[in-house]
Chains A and B, each alone.
Chain A
Amino acid sequence: MTPSKAIRWLLAVLALACVLALPSPAAAAPADEWGFRGLLRDGEKQPVSGAAVQVKDGDTVVGSDTTDDKGRWEIIPVPGPGTYTLTIDTTAASGHFAGDEYEVDKELVESPTTLPVLNVVVSTTESSQQVASFTDRLAQRAVSGFNLGLLIAIAAIGLSLVFGTSRFTNFAHGESVTFGGLTGFVLAHVLGLPLLLAAAVATVLGGFFGYAQDVAFWRPLRRRGVSLITLMIASIGISMAIRSLMQFSFGSASRGMTEESWGTVTLGPVVMPATSYAGMGISIVVLAGVGLWLKHGRIGKATRAIAGNTALAATSGVAVDKITRIVWVLAGALAALSGVLLGVFNQVSFDMGFNLLLLMFAGVILGGLGTSFGTLAGSIVVGLCTEILVLWIPADMKYVGGLAVLVIVLLVRPQGIFGRRERIG
């Protein structure tokens, strides 16, 4: 292949990528705006990465960012001079001060000798730390863990429905979650849609994304009658391709889902953003809806019949192809919803779904493959473990807790909490 031909070929791929890709996120603020830029370090002057930095004017969040691997955060624009509060949440950060929150007040002064953007160097030891008692922190973590568990469950139910009807473990399911998160980000952050509307639209688009995956990849592969192993490897390839495409268009940084703030809710020792409670409410309603649909709905029953015995369901007049398509749409929509809520709960990044995928596996296996109630219970246990273990293990090993649960379950009780032994042979 000559270089010019190769470049044209690459351009064609690029054009395709642009069709699929999301618009690039908003560019950094122009230099003549007011804002804070800074560097976060620990007591030993080592950079702290992955911490969430928020700038507040009183109780209103003005902007936020996450520190990169050099501990830096980019310009967070503010409306003008004044005193702002910088809060630094190290829940997802590297370092051994797991989950602590810091607050520090900084003043922007209008002066001919200083830049309008203030460079701030914050050390995690010198800022005023909010010290909470162990039980308070446990309560806070437990609520977060329950929230995370619900998000895992929403996405995992899609994964196990696909497993039931298509008979393979879809390693690309995490990318459907990321799709939801990134779409939500574009709608809420870039286009400035209200959060709830953005979540609803992203969920619908997620359904289309699931449908598109089925039409583009899985239905043709089913028709070819390829083996289970081929399907799983193909799903890995698809996962890799989509994830890289998302990294290409979104970049490697983690970003806040929205600038919209609903304030915080204080329940006893637990302080959470109101959006998290809204997210939990939505999760519970959606999970209950899916549960009822599976149990009583006509299509839901057909889905269960296929999961039980595909050949028998087909001979009893269940339209297997149609149900499978519906399951892919539903799985895509649920994953996207989970992605939006996860983005609100944590941050949006190109690999958020892939990281969640491993926790989904943990939830599904813990609950016992193929039982919806088990998936819910297993996911919540995994969510709780992931968040609560951060009280003892470093926050940059957060996911290790959830994954360790997976390994331990397989050692002790491979059929999960609610599973029957016959399913796993």
Chain B
Amino acid sequence: MVKNVHETVVEPTTKQKKSSLFKQTMKRLFTNKGAVIGLVVFLIIVFLSVFAPLIAPYGYTDMDIASRFAAPSKDHLFGCDSMGRDIFSRILYGGRYSLQIGIIASGCAAIMAVFIGSAAGYFGGKVDNALMRILDVIQAIPGMLLSIAISAVLGNGLYETIIALAIGNVSTMSRILRGSILTVRKSEYIDAAVVDNSSNLRIIRKHILPNSISPLIVQITMGCAHVILVAASLSFIGLGVQPPEPEWGAMLSAGRSYIRDYPHMTLFPGIAIMLTVLSLNLLGDGLRDALDPKQKR
């Protein structure tokens, strides 16, 4: 209800045009310093996590009681935790958990959103009404609280947490997609496709989704960042992923009782979360600007 976006939507009809739109978007994205920094930092983090076993100097469960609480040094780049485990290695491995949580949870939410959003946006009428009313109910519960409730039911663990967080994000994403589909739905070429006797599924897949997905992509980026943060809060509450898993939020939460004497135990997981979330947000902001037709001038 904020902006009246309809006026300026330019409709590409052929593949070439689409790729040129993609190119244009990318070009705009790469002129945005923040977005470029965000993208680069995020890719580095992903790279480090994926190749953690090759990079990490120690295993993430390797304990050395003698070097408990060791301060950062040449041997232990980020120091050691209360169990004498190398924090640097744990952060590398932990990235796998945290990124998985962020990416899978926002990805799942997006997939559910595609079904709900396109059904609502495309068919409109009663379907739309029913789906939107259900989303109204879900959205009336602040996301964090919904995640807490679901996570209390499912219990601790990586995949349980992912499900809890994904459900907490479905309604926002569905709404965003629906909004942008509604705009596209009004276009003449969709009417043309309908007249053409194409099946609904085909229309949605071929024409509607490709042209209305961009706000959802922005939201996935932002949602991923948000999910990583909520996961950390869940760890703090005692739900979600719990120590000894090297998930960043769990590490941060486990280190919080040592924050005064051994701040390195919280500093590095905290920074890892911060960098990831920050880079995703910068990237998301950049994408949004790049995809917003109004900024084209």
Say whether A associates with B.
no
Binding site for A on B (CB under 8 A): none
Q: A: which residues have CB within 8 A of B?
A: none
